[in-house]
């Protein structure tokens, strides 16, 4: 599994270890350079081979899918099996199962059982949320989850992961949005629109079961705002209270939280994990957007 930059060679510091004695200690690197992968010979003694041709000392060359590489010789061949951008991923140490994400959110062990959520920030830092506890994590770090060990593969550059909405190149912060809810009379259906800045109409989001959970959290925050509670105290509900309101198990509630965050992540909104905020000490949660509107059915 490649990170945004992977060092290759015989040295213990290399992420990809090559056993062939003809390979140098730090032989070459493979890196994501914005639009694709690139191999860089690091001044190796016996050269780096790309599709049968030897690169010059210190030479860089682009890599496409199925590119064939040799480090020090062409006897042992490595193939770039996947040329997609380096989103976050994790590998189960025992089963070798690989879980990856195209957004800045990664659920472990699966999106249907998100016991942990790994997420990245715009400054390149990464965190893992287990329950209500959030802590920083690093590339190649091992985390224990449900009796299994997972190795994390985390890109240092989130530029490879969509971080904008609308395609104009400007970052869209989640906290700058207004969420507009329009539940049906029986509340079996909840329409959710997202507005940015002074936009009048906004964009309707595809229907999701998690919209009703967000509606309940929005109502709690609006109620506290009307009561003139301080901003930091508005909208907090105990997780168990919200689960009871939804008739969910705690596990099902975690699934809905991940699905809600992931919908915004896939739409390209930065730091989408902040859609739901948590208080670890009290096990409370709230919607992380302050600009809210609920249309009465």
Q: Where are the domains of the chain?
A: 5-79, 89-159, 163-294
pLDDT for position 257:
96
DSSP single-letter state for residue 162: -
Tracing tokens 């919908």 back to the chain, one arrives at 263
What order of strands is seen across the sheet that includes strand 16-17? 16-17, 5-9, 28-32, 37-41, 60-63
pLDDT for position 164:
39
Kindly give the residue spans of alpha helices, DSSP state H, lying in the chain. Answer: 210-226, 239-246, 250-266
pLDDT for position 168:
43
| CATH architecture assignment, domain 5-79 | Sandwich (2.60)
At 127, list the tokens.
């965190």
pLDDT for position 162:
44
Backbone angles phi, psi at 79, to 5 degrees: -125, 135
pLDDT for position 42:
97
pLDDT for position 157:
62
Ordered per-residue pLDDT tens for the chain, 297 residues? 787 788 999 999 898 999 999 999 999 999 988 789 999 999 999 999 999 999 999 999 999 999 999 999 888 899 999 888 778 899 999 998 889 887 889 999 999 999 999 998 878 889 999 988 899 999 889 999 989 999 998 887 665 554 434 444 444 678 788 999 999 999 999 999 998 866 667 789 999 999 999 999 999 999 999 999 999 999 999 999 999 999 999 999 999 999 999 999 888 787 899 999 999 889 999 999 999 999 976
Judged by DSSP in three states, 211 sits in helix
pLDDT for position 159:
54
Backbone angles phi, psi at 222, to 5 degrees: -65, -40
pLDDT for position 172:
64
Distance CA 182, CA 169 (A): 30
pLDDT for position 123:
80
């Amino acid at each position: 599994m490649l990170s945004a930059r992977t060092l290759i060679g015989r040295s213990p510091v290399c992420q990809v270890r090559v056993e062939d004695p003809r390979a140098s200690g730090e032989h070459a690197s493979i890196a994501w350079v914005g639009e694709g992968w690139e191999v860089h010979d690091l001044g190796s003694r016996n050269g780096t081979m790309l599709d049968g041709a030897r690169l010059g000392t210190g030479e860089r060359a682009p890599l496409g899918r199925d590119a064939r590489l040799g480090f020090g010789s062409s006897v042992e061949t490595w193939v770039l099996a996947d040329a997609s951008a380096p989103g976050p991923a994790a590998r189960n140490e025992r089963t070798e199962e690989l879980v990856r994400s195209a957004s800045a959110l990664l659920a472990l062990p699966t999106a249907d059982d998100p016991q942990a959520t790994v997420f990245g920030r715009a400054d390149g830092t990464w965190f893992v949320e287990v329950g209500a506890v959030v802590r920083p994590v690093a590339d190649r770090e091992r985390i224990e989850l449900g009796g299994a060990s997972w190795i994390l593969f985390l890109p240092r550059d989130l530029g490879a992961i969509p971080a904008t909405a609308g395609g104009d190149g400007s970052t869209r912060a989640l906290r700058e949005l207004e969420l507009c809810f329009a539940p049906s009379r029986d509340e079996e259906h909840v329409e959710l629109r997202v507005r940015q800045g002074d936009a009048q109409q906004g964009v309707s989001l595809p229907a999701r079961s998690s919209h009703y959970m967000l509606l309940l959290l929005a109502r709690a925050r609006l109620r506290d705002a009307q009561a003139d509670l301080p901003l930091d105290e508005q909208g907090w509900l105990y997780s168990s209270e919200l689960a009871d309101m939804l008739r969910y198990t705690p596990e099902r509630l975690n699934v809905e939280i991940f699905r809600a965050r992931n919908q915004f992540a896939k739409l390209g909104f930065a730091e989408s994990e902040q859609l739901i905020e948590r208080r670890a000490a009290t096990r409370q949660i709230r919607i992380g957007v302050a600009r809210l509107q609920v249309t009465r059915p």
